[in-house]
Structure 1
Amino acid sequence: MKKIIMLTTLLLVTFNVSAQQDKKARDVIAAYETAFKNRDFEKMKTLLADDFSIAVYETPSTDRLFEGILERYYLLDSLNVKSVNTVEGETRVQVTHFFKDQKPHTSTIVLNSGHKIKYADLLDQLYKVDRYQTSELIVKIPFEMLHESIAVKLKLNDSEDEFTMLFDTGADGMALSPTAAAKANIKNIRDHSTSVVGGTANVKISSGNTIRVGELSIPDQNLVVFPQISKGFDGIFGGNFLSKYITRVDFDTQKIELYSFGEYKGIGTPTPTSYASGVPVIECDIKLNNGKEAQGSYVFDTGAGYNIISFGPFVHEYKLDEEFKYDYLSTNYSVGHATQTMMGNYSQLQFSEFTFYGVSGALQAYQEDNKNWASNDGSIGIEVIKRFNFTVDLLHKVIYLEPNSNYKKPFDFTVSGLIIGFDADGEMQVKTVIQGSKAHASGIQQGTTIHAINGYTAEELQLPENINLIKTSNAPLELRVTRGDQSMQITI
């Protein structure tokens, strides 16, 4: 008898909780109906979750989108709730919208555990996104590595010229050089001011352009004309793929695969990402050589030619510049805009389940106007990213990371004005000699093969701890090198 009473009590409690959840959900939908009828975005905004999204777009960019929908979409006559189901903290409410002079539209509105709206199928579908269809492969696009960056051949508008474009996940759209813009028959150009790393730039902007890759056409694309584009490229693009397709980049096969949005199971480790700033961002932990740690939001940026940079406001907030042992000062260029940086080593870089040690990187000098453009804390560049085949699925806010054949390759490192890398055979070579450094004064040249530094061989210097011993030593730098047919010792 006791068991029957306990079971009955449990069922009553469960029923009451379920009834309460059902009522709360219906109250939210009633408020949604009223706000939609009255085209009242301010009221609608109070119903939305912090991570509310329309297709791939997140708060705050969804504010403009939703406000525009309320202003211009069909007038809502009424709304009918067909069912309410709560599973794993989410409540799915199936509703029928009755718009004036339109056929009834039945779809789902999803609420989070706090009964705030996460997304609504109706809004997704206005941006041609269906979360429930099976994702399908659309096209495979070959790429090559040019200047250590992803280079893709595209055609634009009605031009038969092929343009060499840098695929830049850190770019929310497309940019062309003035020469390429003239060849691509770009029209409707107007003046515009845009954010770049370090500040703003005055550019020309154009709308209504079409990207063509093989049989694939992507219409209605905006682009800007920048006075300066990375050497060897006609332009850059990024969000043009990421915002419309699940985008997989495979460095082993040198292919970009585009899939339709929908139910998709990626290869590799799923890593949460945000697209709130118009570019994919992941959470990273960094550690300096003195043990100081900081966590920030870093852009996943294939267009950046470095390992990692921390932006000025983040550097200023954590006082990283006061504790960073730098090797030399440099200048970072972003579409022609220059900012001062300190180059040195991060003791550790960690994101998702992956950890790298002894990664050379930069801290950007802080300026008060940095706050105008730095919506994120830094950027992870191609030298780290190319160690993974990756998939960006912005609809589900995830990047899949799969270690590839580059994963275990040693990083370049900096010491005494030299940037030293490892070739395919594991030998050390001078990649860059910093102008004005002691290394430059010693006469050492780019391309020089280094056999040992302070007695450490190339194999031994693939271990970050040995590099750190050299960098923290006060002893002169003793390099055993080969120049032409001659072996020699150079002291810096």
Structure 2
Amino acid sequence: MIRLLLIGLTLQLACVFSAKAQEEFVDPPSTLLTTVHFEQFIGGVIVFRALLDDFKDSLSFILDTGSGGISLDSTTVASLNLKPGAPEKMIRGIGGIRKVGFLKERRLTIGGYEIDSLNFHIIDYDVLTSLYGRKIDGIVGYSVLSRFIVKLDYDKQELSLYTRGVFKYPKGGYLLRPYIRMLPYLRTGINDARKRNFNYLFDIGAGLTVLFSEDFINDSTFLKSRRKRYLKQGEGLGGRVDMYLTVMKSLRLGPYRFKNVPVNIFSDDYNVTSYPSLGGLIGNEIFRRFNVILNYDKQQFYLMPNQFFNAPFDYAYSGIELYLINGVAVTGKIPEDSPAAKAGLKEGDEIIAINNKFGMTLDDLKQALLATYGKVKIIYRRNGELQTATMNVINILRK
């Protein structure tokens, strides 16, 4: 009888402990707040529309995990007759360091959902407006992204905001676990002359594949010494900077591997990467190949390959960077010995047509230069006169 009682007590305790083992405190389920359409500019950069305060006209914002706050363009602020405070904080980018003022305690409405208590820093984004040929009114970064779970669906070109909480990730993807200190940092593997680990900034606001600092390239010695580098112009906070374009053998993100990846190298004069903490960044020309879920609260970024996963990289090099100035596509600095320089093009030339195609938008002109190898006919205007040049666009993968 005693034995039976002991068995019964043991079973009862087992049931109690089993039941308790299934109990835990959890966050409430995440719920959808809003979904809006976005556009993609060159390099996969995401641009969406939102409303500031009670102004009726929507503004264009770049979504940027590489931004530690939220910002507005100085000309936009002036056009709205807003008065920012005196410059009080320093911000740093690849093109320089600036002291900025703020518009504090403002509201931003995305797809009908209002986000309050935002402090916008004010900076001149004229270089971004001229680069994309569309007015850029601001950049949305950590100040907004950290408040939500953010889903980026590149297949549908939709941006969705969810409340923080329990979120079920779809099957078939891969979970990254970034270290987030306002900006998200990760480590991955790269390979060329030798394999190396690469600490990088997860930067969907950068319209490129990979950007390495010159310090990392020199110290890691991972890049093949015979790799030829091609001088080009890049853009960032503070203005335009010189970069070099080349190719590396492979890049790994979790289980995903990309081969023959075009990469950019720059001299990190302002120590943006805080080398050796970081070697550079990975941009949205890589991440646009996934549908992405950003969960800052749990320090989880989820990647799901999408229809663009196997899209070919652009290997074309002409030496031309185009900017929209007063409604006209104008060449920036032309590197020496580049195909554009050899064809006789100069900084400030107005590009009228490529391969006899007229009436092209700035984006069309850029895409045409990226998608073409070999001889390209350029019609341009210099000092009011139309001229023609034939340029031999290089495929850097074959060099």
DSSP 3-state at the match of 2:49: strand
2:122 maps to 1:225: yes
Deviation of 1:143 (Å): 1.1
- What is the alpha-carbon distance in structure 2 between the residues aligned to residue 374 and residue 162 of structure 1? 41
What's the counterpart of residue 154 of structure 2?
251
2:210 maps to 1:308: yes
Give me the TM-score of the superposition, normalised by structure 1.
Answer: 0.58
Deviation of 1:157 (Å): 1.6
Q: What one-letter code is carried by the residue in structure 2 that aligns with 1:246?
A: I
Unaligned runs of 5+ residues in structure 2 are 1-19, 322-330, 346-350, 357-372, 380-389, 395-399
What's the counterpart of residue 202 of structure 1?
99
- What is the alpha-carbon distance in structure 1 between the residues aligned to residue 101 and residue 91 of structure 2? 10
Match of 2:86 among 187, 190, 204: 190
What's the counterpart of residue 304 of structure 2?
402
- What is the alpha-carbon distance in structure 1 between the residues aligned to residue 121 and residue 294 of structure 2? 24
Residues 216 and 373 (structure 1), Cα distance of their counterparts in 2 relative to 1, 3 Å cut: farther
Match of 2:182 among 264, 278, 293: 278
Where in structure 2 are the equivalents of 1:26-425 lying within 5 Å? 132-147=27-42, 148-184=44-80, 186-187=82-83, 189-191=85-87, 192-197=89-94, 199-229=96-126, 230-231=128-129, 232=134, 233-267=136-170, 268-288=172-192, 291-319=193-221, 323=225, 325-367=227-269, 369=271, 376-414=278-316, 417=319
Conserved? CA contact 2:292–2:302, under 8 Å: yes
DSSP 3-state at the match of 1:405: coil
What's the counterpart of residue 44 of structure 1?
none
Q: What one-letter code is carried by the residue in structure 1 that aligns with 2:33?
A: I
DSSP 3-state at the match of 2:180: coil
- What is the alpha-carbon distance in structure 1 between the residues aligned to residue 273 and residue 307 of structure 2? 38
Conserved? CA contact 2:70–2:144, under 8 Å: no
What's the counterpart of residue 439 of structure 1?
339
Deviations 1:1-47 (A, max 9, x none): xxxxxxxxxxxxxxxxxxxxxxxxxxxxxxxxxxxxxxxxxxxxxxx
Which has the higher relative contact order, 1 or 2, with Cα contacts under 8 A spaced 6 or more apart? 2
Deviation of 1:416 (Å): 7.3
Q: Figure out how many residues of one structure are paired with residues of the other and give that number.
A: 330
- What is the alpha-carbon distance in structure 2 between the residues aligned to residue 357 and residue 371 of structure 1? 25
Residues 447 and 181 (structure 1), Cα distance of their counterparts in 2 relative to 1, 3 Å cut: same
Deviations 1:442-482 (A, max 9, x none): 46998459xxxxxxxxxxxxxxxxxxxxxxxxxxxx94668
Unaligned runs of 5+ residues in structure 1 are 1-85, 95-107, 109-130, 420-430, 450-477
- What is the alpha-carbon distance in structure 2 between the residues aligned to residue 328 and residue 339 of structure 1? 14
Give me the TM-score of the superposition, normalised by structure 2.
Answer: 0.71
Q: What one-letter code is carried by the residue in structure 2 that aligns with 1:210?
A: R
Give identity over the alignment, percent.
Answer: 23
Conserved? CA contact 1:241–1:247, under 8 Å: no
Residues 265 and 434 (structure 1), Cα distance of their counterparts in 2 relative to 1, 3 Å cut: farther
DSSP 3-state at the match of 2:181: coil
Q: What one-letter code is carried by the residue in structure 2 that aligns with 1:390?
A: V
Deviation of 1:308 (Å): 0.8
Deviation of 1:338 (Å): 4.3
Q: What one-letter code is carried by the residue in structure 1 that aligns with 2:27?
A: Y
DSSP 3-state at the match of 1:326: coil
Conserved? CA contact 1:313–1:371, under 8 Å: no
Residues 482 and 397 (structure 1), Cα distance of their counterparts in 2 relative to 1, 3 Å cut: same
- What is the alpha-carbon distance in structure 1 between the residues aligned to residue 393 and residue 354 of structure 2? 18
Deviation of 1:210 (Å): 0.9
Deviation of 1:368 (Å): 7.7
- What is the alpha-carbon distance in structure 2 between the residues aligned to residue 238 and residue 304 of structure 1? 12
What's the counterpart of residue 387 of structure 2?
none
Q: What one-letter code is carried by the residue in structure 2 that aligns with 1:266?
A: Y
- What is the alpha-carbon distance in structure 1 between the residues aligned to residue 76 and residue 194 of structure 2? 46
